[in-house]
């Protein structure tokens, strides 16, 4: 049965207990090289005297994975925005 599910393109996603709480990030840095894409998620303390971002998590991806992530992420945000508009909620403008 597992082989049949794999053939149908279904993937089981397991979130470890350590990752379930997630992290809060208000700063992101993306670096692209010929071999990979590196995304750093960090936290900038608001109103601090020094502007220092503490990197909380780094994600390394291949270019193919990064392109796939970009499409999935963009679609998820657009779906959310459309649902908010349908519900009559205020939707903040995009910066793009």
Average pLDDT estimate for 10-22: 93
| Rg of the chain, C-alpha, whole Å | 18
- Domain for residue 38, yes or no? yes
- Domain for residue 92, yes or no? no
Q: What is the pLDDT of residue 95?
A: 62
pLDDT 10s digits, 86-95: 888 776 676 6
Buried b (16+ CB within 10 A) or exposed e, 18-54: eeeeeeeeeeeeeeeeeeebebbbbeeeeeeeeeebe
Structural domain for 37, as ranges: 23-86
Alpha helices of 1-96 — where are they, by DSSP H?
Answer: 2-7, 63-86
* Predicted TM-score (pTM) of this structure: 0.71
The number of folded domains in the chain is 1
pLDDT category, 15, cuts 50, 70, 90?
very high
Average pLDDT of the residues of the chain: 88
Q: What is the pLDDT of residue 46?
A: 87
Record the tokens describing residue 18, joined without a space: 């350590």
- Domain for residue 9, yes or no? no
pLDDT at residue 30 is higher than 90: yes
pLDDT at residue 96 is higher than 60: no
- Domain for residue 58, yes or no? yes
- Domain for residue 4, yes or no? no
């Amino acid at each position: 049965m597992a082989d049949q599910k794999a053939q149908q393109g279904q993937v089981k996603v397991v979130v470890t207990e350590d990752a379930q709480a997630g992290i809060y990030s208000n700063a992101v840095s993306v670096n692209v090289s010929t071999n990979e894409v590196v995304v750093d998620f960090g936290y900038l303390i608001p109103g601090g005297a020094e502007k220092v971002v503490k990197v909380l998590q780094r994600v390394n991806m291949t270019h193919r994975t990064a392109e796939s992530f970009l499409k999935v992420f963009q679609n998820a945000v657009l779906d959310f925005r459309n649902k908010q508009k349908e519900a009559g909620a205020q939707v903040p403008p995009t910066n793009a």
